[in-house]
């Protein structure tokens, strides 16, 4: 799906979060449509400000427009325009599950990942490793992961917002993550990957990137439903279809004053 379908023109893209991933999606679009000039506002503060003022045509946001603006700003926008901006999912970015190379696990199911994120009492056998022990979780953003797990309960073809995370489940997930989280400083990605590389009882749920792919950690295929084959985050077709369920929808919000070729 593309935010621009008209012939020619310009499009200004503001990046409010997941800058690398959203910019990569926009640049991939620009390569397919060289007649469209794409410019970026990469500072999230100025991106939001310029979008609200109509100087940015589309705002890249990974959790919906309302997630990226405070309540007074949202109310001001609604007063001016009558409704939230139209949002379009332009791509999906996968999270991945990785374990130490010595871990015997070959794959992990969605049900086992839910144990990790919603059961504070979960132990390694609940995740599919026969050797017992305390889980040490290295996680990028537990709220986004829990939301992706909630969305994965829908059929792959369903909209990503077809099932949202309830307040009760959000609190339960917060408890579970606190119980399992590794007691280590979450600094740079490189530092976290190194800590995980030294931890045979560690399990990492992180956004997929080149550094992680080259880290030497074992990236596990995810099995969505019993009987289905597992899929890896590098399987772009599985990510796009939802067969790889641990994915984040990358969205753009379109300003109502954007040119017609953007609105089309």
Asked whether residue 144 is domain-assigned, the answer is yes
Among residues 30, 252, 251, 225, the alpha carbon closest in space to that of 113 is found at: 225
- Tell me, yes or no, whether 101 and 227 share the same domain: yes
Count of structural domains, the chain: 2
78 assigned to some structural domain: yes
Residues 48, 173 within the same domain? no
**Contact by Cβ (8 Å): 94, 208:** yes
pLDDT bin (cut points 50, 70, 90) of residue 128 is very high
Query: Average pLDDT for residues 33-46, to the nearest whole number?
Result: 86
Query: Looking at residues 105-123, what average pLDDT do you find?
Result: 95
Whether residue 205 is predicted with pLDDT greater than 90 in this model: the reply is yes
Q: Do 164 and 72 reside in the same domain of the chain?
A: no
What pLDDT sits at residue 164? Answer: 60
Tens of pLDDT, residues 51-87:
988 999 988 877 678 777 888 888 888 998 988 899 8
170 and 108 in a single domain? The answer is yes
180 and 59 housed in the same domain? no
What integer is the mean pLDDT of 233-242? 92
1: pLDDT strictly greater than 60:
no
- Asked if 90 and 240 count as a contact pair (C-beta separation under 8 A), the reply is no
Q: What is the pLDDT of residue 261?
A: 67
Percent of the chain with pLDDT over 70: 88
Give the model's confidence band at 38: pLDDT under 50 very low, under 70 low, under 90 confident, else very high.
confident
Is pLDDT at 166 greater than 70 in this prediction?
Answer: yes
Residue 159 has a pLDDT of 42
Q: What is the DSSP string of the chain?
A: --S--SSS-EEEEEE-S-HHHHHHHHHHHHHH-TTSEEEEE-SHHHHHHHHHTTSSSEEEESS-HHHHS-HHHHHHHHHHHSSPPEEEEEEEEEEEEEE-TT-----EEHHHHHHHHH-TT--HHHHT-SS----EEEES-HHHHHHHHHHTTS-TTS-TTSS---HHHHHHHHHHHHHHB-SS---SHHHHHHHHHT-TTEEEEEE--HHHHTS--EEPPEESSTTSPPB-TT-HHHHHHTSS--EEEEEEEEPTTS-HHHH-
- The neighbour count for residue 199, using CB atoms within 10 Å, is 16
Residues 150 and 207 in one domain: yes
pLDDT band at residue 183, thresholds of 50, 70 and 90? confident
- Let me know whether 114 and 227 are in one domain: yes
Tokens 């130490």 correspond to: 100
165 and 241 in a single domain? The answer is yes
pLDDT attached to residue 23? 80
82 and 165, same structural domain? no
In this structure, are 156 and 181 located in the same domain?
yes
Burial class (CB in 10 A: 0-12, 13-18, 19+), 206: buried
Structural domain contains residue 2: no
For 220, the domain range is 94-248
CATH number reported for the structural domain that contains residue 113 in this entry: 3.40.190.10
Please check whether residue 65 lies inside any domain of the structure. Answer: yes
Same domain for 101 and 186? Answer: yes
Question: Could you tell me if residue 25 is inside a domain?
Answer: yes
Residues 122 and 210 in one domain: yes
What pLDDT score does 130 carry? 92
Instruction: Decide if 1 is inside a domain.
Output: no
Report yes or no on 37 lying in a domain. yes
């Amino acid at each position: 799906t593309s935010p621009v379908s008209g012939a020619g023109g310009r499009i200004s893209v503001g990046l409010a979060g997941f800058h690398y991933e959203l910019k990569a999606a926009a640049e991939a679009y620009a390569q397919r449509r060289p007649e469209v000039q794409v410019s970026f506002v990469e500072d999230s503060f100025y991106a939001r400000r310029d979008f609200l003022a109509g100087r940015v045509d589309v705002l890249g946001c990974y959790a919906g427009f309302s997630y990226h603006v405070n309540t007074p700003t949202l109310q001001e926008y609604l007063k001016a325009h009558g409704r939230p901006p139209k949002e379009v999912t332009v791509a999906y970015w996968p999270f991945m599950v990785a374990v130490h190379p010595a871990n015997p696990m070959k794959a992990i199911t969605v049900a086992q990942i839910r144990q990790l994120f919603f059961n504070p009492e979960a132990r390694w056998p609940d995740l599919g490793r026969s050797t017992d022990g305390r889980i040490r979780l290295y996680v990028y953003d537990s709220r986004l992961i829990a939301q992706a797990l909630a969305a994965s309960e829908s059929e792959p073809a369903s909209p990503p917002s077809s099932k949202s995370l309830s307040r009760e489940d959000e609190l339960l997930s917060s408890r579970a993550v606190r119980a399992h989280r590794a007691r280590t400083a979450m600094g740079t990605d490189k530092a976290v990957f190194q800590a995980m590389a030294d931890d045979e009882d560690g399990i990492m749920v992180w956004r997929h990137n080149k550094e992680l792919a080259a880290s030497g950690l074992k990236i596990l295929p995810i099995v969505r439903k019993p009987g289905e084959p597992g899929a890896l985050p590098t399987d772009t077709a599985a990510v796009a279809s939802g067969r790889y369920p641990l994915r984040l929808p990358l969205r753009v919000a379109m300003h109502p004053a954007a040119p017609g070729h953007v609105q089309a």
